[in-house]
A and B are shown apart, each in its own frame.
Chain A
Amino acid sequence: MIRGLIGGTVLAAGLATAVPGTGRAQSVPARQSEGTQEAQTASAPAPVVYINGIQPVMDHNIYMHALLDQFEARFGADGGQFRYDGQAWFGTDYDKLWLKSEGTVGTNGKFGDGDHEALYDRAISRYFDVQTGVRLDIDNGPTRAWGAIGVEGLALYFFNVEATAYFSDRGAAGRLQGSYDILLTNRLILQPQVEMNFYSASDRARGVGTGLSDIDTGLRLRYEWHRKFAPYIGVSYSGTFGQAADMARSRNERVHDLNFTFGIRMWF
């Protein structure tokens, strides 16, 4: 028997439950019955101890991905803008650290609509996760901080939705996002998308108003040349409403802004 090397490893690990020389694991009898199987014997044994602590499969791995859903140039009557909207996550099937970030460099060259979130994500149902954490509005305007709680997932009929509520000493806010992939072919995909922001109180310095403050929506046609690299073209519309529209008008900004868009959707 030339099993010495392995036997040695087992011995070195010093596991009480490994039988030296054979590397055979065993389970020790014990008290508690568990109940996944019907008709358990009365004295159900204790948990199995795996040799050298080796798990036969690694089903609790951590995965990490980042998606830049929008990474695009926008061209309209007033000139060009740049916009990005991305998410990244890091974690297991059930628990993840979830980061979101979006922002627009406007025709005036200023970075606006800068919204950055760090969330703890917990899978709660077949298609939905609950997310809690913080949102920071960081851009060329004044900085704001919010607590955030929301859900993200796949509604019926494959609609991707995000609904998040935000709270701070300035009141509450809400954001709804949705998108849907229409497969023209298996690689040519038309995606309508919309994002709406609501606020309970206006914030003149950031140009947001009570109620529905702004909408950013688009219709993008992407080609999944590679799953992780899809150039697209489309049209996007962003608009402000109510008080926010008044504020925009007072600053001589466009209330309704329609743009031709092209960009790249990519993930890693």
Chain B
Amino acid sequence: MEFFERFAIPHPSPAIYASMVAIALTTIAVVVGLTYFKKWGYLWREWLTTVDHKKIGIMYMISALLMLFRGGADALMMRAQTAVPENTLLDAQHYNEIFTTHGVVMIIFMAMAFIIALMNFVIPLQIGARDVAFPRLNALSFWLYFMGAMLLNISFVIGGSPSSGWTSYFPLAGNELSPSVGTNYYMLALQISGLGTLITGINFIVTILKMRAPGMTLMKMPMFTWAGLITNVIIVFAFPVLTVALAMGTMDRLFATNFFTTTDGGMDMLWANLFWVWGHPEVYILILPAFGIYSEIIPTFARRNLYGYTTMVVSMVVISLLSFVVWVHHFFTMGQGALVNSIFSITTMAIAVPTGIKIFNWLFTMWKGKIQFTVPMLYSLGFIPIFTIGGVTGVMLGMASADYQYHNTMFLVAHFHLVIIPGVVFAMIAGLTYWWPKMFGFMLNERIGKWGFWFIAGGTVLAFFPMFISGLDGQARRMYTYSEGTGFGIWNMLSFVGAIGLAIGFALLVYNIYYSTRYASRDIGDDPWNARSLEWATHNPVPEYNFAITPQVNSSEAFWDAKKRGHKLFKAGYKDIHMPNNSGIPFIMSVFFFIFGFAFIFSMWITVIVSLIAILACMTYRSFEKDDGYHITAEELKKAESELRGAK
């Protein structure tokens, strides 16, 4: 019995028991469903073992949507708790757990997954490649991310969730002040999924540098691919910092080392520094792909080419460089003095320049255009004003002296939600709607989509604008409650109403997926949006080999040129296409990583060692495995292509 006690929840409540039941029932339903419909084999063959970038992208997307609802449920509970003063819906400990997991889930497991989903699906198509450079590593990336996400999510029902904030500052996150295993979950889950992200970074840099279609020089790449390249460079340079910080944190908690402790020379500020040396570039890892998505959607629906292609690229490069030299602005108030704060204040505000250029370039892209208000375009247009407000408040926060007043308040919360939601979430939904026909061969319903947009945009404004005011009125963030006399009540109530609006918007998105899956027309052709870039030059949905013939590219809008200017994309005849075989290794290895992480969290060292050996065994197997893939012959291609064309 003693063995099992460690898995108990330190602060049980009806909500946790309910989620235990819910998780158990869902698991049973999935298992029974799969068995009843005899889908185990299908699941294994088509999904668990797949190395196809398109399917991996879709799996990322489904996971990201699931995490969006997990994080969204957290957000609703937080807003509900603070909607009225002295509310008792949640106690302090649960509120702390919920805002911690909200942050972790949304940043690491939702936003990251969503951008990687779209990069996975779109980038190889945009550059006319067969797949990514290392398809198996790509599968491994996904499964590591997925296992990391699952690991954090089970913390709620096994052993307790982390509760020291998504920033997990020491010494609060140390053993003494956070004795439950929650922070161990945080450390290990982020470590495992971070490893997956790093592999993604390497994979995509190689893919983009080496696998572009003939004729596509770097400056002829579509903007989303450019954004992807820069993002992945940031990933490769930023994530190792997190790896080290998490390793140190884990060792402090489990091996009693003294990195961030308050004894024997430990330095709590080192964690804050390392965390934000990773954490600030992380913000740009999220936002740059979103910029890329808008740079695809706005030209498409303004019916014009992207204005200022070169400045767009240069500004992204500048942003990526600056992103590594601003981290101190997350703790101007740590007492490093006026000089250091002044330097970081200036670098921080400097980011506004390249970002501003991008905003104006998008505006100029619509100049003399022929704007069509489709759902992806609506999100892009909603992005511009809301993000501008989020961005300029960022500049305000960048002024160190004033930041002493904004820091740790709801003003800050309003700022970063108003950049991340229009910047990332809008872009994700816009991108999802835009590339949906590429993924599934039908379109999402425009009418439901527009309703969803207005709820989400309105909800965002209503949920977060009041926080500027309550922040300036002195409401600190992360307070589970406040007294009536503070006068914060009205603003928090407005936020709660806004949060409900957002929830309705997201529910409409899901309903739209359901509705369109059932009722939407499958006869949409290959180019339903009258688009411009190369991914639209193949079929909807994309066949497993992507392009039957490798395209010849002459500009960043090769497909548009092919339509309007007589550029010939496909010159060669059919040739055999080499395909990689599916593999179960990434999935199996990731399961062992999950076991490894779980055992590590609970200090079950024998299991740790066994799972580590199993991981090494997987690597050994992979190293010795001879796998040359297979070929789709020219004959088969010809047949498949004529069928695809005949169907239209």
Do A and B interact with each other, yes or no?
Answer: no
Binding site for A on B (CB under 8 A): none
Q: Which residues of A are in contact with B by a Cβ distance under 8 Å? A: none
